[in-house]
Structure 1
Amino acid sequence: MKVLLDLQYLNVATTGIKTYMMELAQAVLTYPHPEIEWVFSHDPKEQSADQTFKGVQSKIQRLNYHLDYFRWKEFQLPDMVKKHQADVLICPDFVSPVASLSCRRLTVIHDAFFWQMPQNYPTWWRTYFLSLIRKGLKQNTEIITTTNYSRDAILSHLGNKSPISVIYQVPKNMTTEVDSAFIEKLGVDKYQYFVHIGTFDKRKNLPLLVRAFASFLEKTNSDFKLLLAGGAGQSAQMNDLPIVEKLITELKLEGKVLLPGYVSDAQVRALYEGAFAYVFPSENEGFGIPIVEAMGFGIPVIHSDQPALVEVSAGAGLVSKTGDTQDLAEKMILLASEDSLRMSLIERGLERAKDFSAKKFIADFQKLILSK
């Protein structure tokens, strides 16, 4: 059985999808199967390091990227399928070629955000991208997604034309050394800060987290700090960073809420290892990688009752009401005041994190690939 894995999108992929693609490629190499021969469209490390289309700003640059992507999906990738005589094509970036192919297709649709939150995307781009997704779901195509919540959401928008399988993904394998000086540079003490790591996309509800933290400080009179690490939202429509910066000033939280910006893997490890708790108030997620990452580092997690996060944490996190500032503040206060609760969450989280291993991730793919 010959399987072609499309890794072209790594030249622009960020956050969750990049992690998914890199960890899938690594798992393929780490856990080979005697009945499956894998072919990578690109070397994952080289493609991920390609800077050609990263950080494009002008309309011409964006147009060139879209033309390059379209050319790859509709001409070069089908040619690769023919060249390697692939039995299965896996596209982990939502889109499969519109062209007719002789092989079976497995297309990963990570979430239903494009349908659920149209306000977060430019209208023309969303229309174009959804058209590509739908046109690629043809012939012998199956969808893979990350949670039962995402599966149900996708079904509600695409119907049951294509079978959908749920395969839980894995967090990034961070093997770099810890930047032990990073926490000191930020001026925070170990176990005296809450942390959130990720972009400032609107769906992450980070302004709400800032307001909840302000309430937490007012009611506890503690020296805790809040670290919001990560870059701006992926578009002007999705970016809450300016709102968070304004809130910090309005609520007089300078020096209390810290924005270190983009952080390296070594700095992420330092943030995790020194955190009192991870807070994830997102209003919509397809999976929620940071929950698994934090639990794996032995950090208690507070997360919203958004269905995918509840599914992933499976009772190992402290749940707050989505969009409720005071409830989130109360959960933060509860965790800070009850050491036994914190220790229980740490133990449950470490156990839950074991369910998201690279070995299980690739085993589920292998099982699906060999099912027909």
Structure 2
Amino acid sequence: MNVLLDLQYLNVATSGIKTYMMELAKAARRYSHPDVHWIFTHEPEKQAADNNYKFPQSKIQRLNYHLDYLRWKEFQLPDLVKKHKPDVLICPDFVSPAASLNCRRLTVFHDAFFWQMPQNYPKWWRKYFLNLIAKGLKENTEIITTTYYSKKSLIQYLGNDWPINVIYQAPKMLHDPIEPTILKNHQLEKEGYFLHIGTFDRRKNLPLLVKAYSEFLTQTGSDKKLVLAGGAGQSKQMDDFPIVQKLVEDLQLENQVILPGYVSDGAIKALYSQAFAYVFPSQNEGFGIPIVESMGFGVPVIHSDQEALLEVANGAGMPFQTGSLEDLTKKMILLSQENDLRAQLIEKGKKRAEDFSAKKFIEAFHQVILNPGK
């Protein structure tokens, strides 16, 4: 069974989809199957390092990227299908070619955000992208998604026309050596800070976390800090970074809230290794990779009771009512006061993290590849 994996989108992917694509490619190479032969459209590390279109600074750059993406999906990728004659084409970025292809298609839909949260996207871009998605839902297509919550959401918007398989993804393997410099530079001590890693997208609800942290300090007198690592949201409509910055200033928390921006894998390892707890207040997620990463590092997790996060944590995290400042503050205080509770969450988390390995990730793909329509 020949499988062609489309990795073109790695040249712009910066967050969850990048992790998904890279870990899928790595797992395919690491855990071979006698009946599955993988063909990559691009060398993953090289494509991910291509910065020609990352963080476009002008409308012309963005337009050039969209034209390049359209040219790839509608002309170059179909040509590769003709050349390699795969049995299966996997597109891990929502979009499959509009052209008819002589192979099965497995298209990965990471979430239903484009339908659920239209306000987060420019109107013209959302319309254009949804049109690309729709045109790629053609003959012999199966959808892969990340959680049963995402599957339920996609059925709501797409109906039951396409088989939808749930495959839990694997977290990013952080192979770089730990970089403790970030801890030293920001005077971060062991178990001395709450942590969040990710973009400042509006749905992440990071202003709520800053407010809850402020209340936590007021009510406990704690000297714990808050680290919010990551870059701006993906568009002006989605970006809460300026709001968080102003909130930090208004609450006079400049010395307590650390905003280091994007950090390296080595710095991420250092931050996880010393964190008191990870706080994930997101309003909507398709999966929630940081939950698995945190648990794997032995860091207890406080997360919103959003459905995907509840599914991924599976009782190993501490949920709070999504959007509730009072409940989030309460849970942060509780974790800081109950050592036994924290120890229990750490042990449960380590066990839960074992369910999300690269081996299980690729084995689930092999099952779908070798058993069409099941």
TM-score range, shorter chain: over 0.9
After superposition, residues 1-372 of structure 1 pair within 5 angstroms as 1-372=1-372
Measured on the aligned residues, the alpha-carbon RMSD in Å equals 0.6
For 1:275 and 1:261, locate their aligned partners in 2 and report how far apart those are by CA, in whole Å: 17
For 1:52 and 1:246, locate their aligned partners in 2 and report how far apart those are by CA, in whole Å: 32
Where 1:363 maps in the other structure, the secondary structure is helix
Where 1:24 maps in the other structure, the secondary structure is helix
Shift of 1:51: 1.1
Shift of 1:112: 0.3
**Residue type of the alignment partner of 1:23:** E
Write the deviation string for residues 288-337 of structure 1: whole angstroms up to 9, x where unpaired: 00000000000000000000000000000000000001100000000000
Where 1:144 maps in the other structure, the secondary structure is strand
For 1:185 and 1:221, locate their aligned partners in 2 and report how far apart those are by CA, in whole Å: 23
| Unmatched segments (≥5 aa) in structure 1 | none
Write the deviation string for residues 199-254 of structure 1: whole angstroms up to 9, x where unpaired: 00000000000000000000000101100000011100000011111111111111
For 2:240 and 2:15, locate their aligned partners in 1 and report how far apart those are by CA, in whole Å: 17
Shift of 1:54: 1.0
Where 1:247 maps in the other structure, the secondary structure is helix
For 1:153 and 1:274, locate their aligned partners in 2 and report how far apart those are by CA, in whole Å: 36
For 1:239 and 1:343, locate their aligned partners in 2 and report how far apart those are by CA, in whole Å: 35
Write the deviation string for residues 39-92 of structure 1: whole angstroms up to 9, x where unpaired: 000000110001111111211111111111001000110110110011100000
TM-score (norm. length: structure 2): 0.99
**Residue type of the alignment partner of 1:186:** H
**Residue type of the alignment partner of 2:116:** Q
For 1:80 and 1:367, locate their aligned partners in 2 and report how far apart those are by CA, in whole Å: 24
**Runs of at least 4 residues off by over 3 Å:** none
Q: Percent identity?
A: 66
For 2:157 and 2:148, locate their aligned partners in 1 and report how far apart those are by CA, in whole Å: 15
For 2:55 and 2:310, locate their aligned partners in 1 and report how far apart those are by CA, in whole Å: 34
Where 2:9 maps in the other structure, the secondary structure is helix
For 2:64 and 2:15, locate their aligned partners in 1 and report how far apart those are by CA, in whole Å: 23
**Residue type of the alignment partner of 1:49:** A
**Residue type of the alignment partner of 1:12:** V
Where 2:279 maps in the other structure, the secondary structure is strand
Greater displacement, 174-183 / 328-337: 174-183
For 1:196 and 1:53, locate their aligned partners in 2 and report how far apart those are by CA, in whole Å: 27
TM-score (norm. length: structure 1): 0.99
For 2:332 and 2:107, locate their aligned partners in 1 and report how far apart those are by CA, in whole Å: 39
| Unmatched segments (≥5 aa) in structure 2 | none
**Residue type of the alignment partner of 1:75:** F
**Residue type of the alignment partner of 1:202:** R
Where 1:67 maps in the other structure, the secondary structure is helix
For 2:357 and 2:50, locate their aligned partners in 1 and report how far apart those are by CA, in whole Å: 28
**Residue type of the alignment partner of 2:351:** E
For 1:198 and 1:89, locate their aligned partners in 2 and report how far apart those are by CA, in whole Å: 30
Shift of 1:181: 2.4
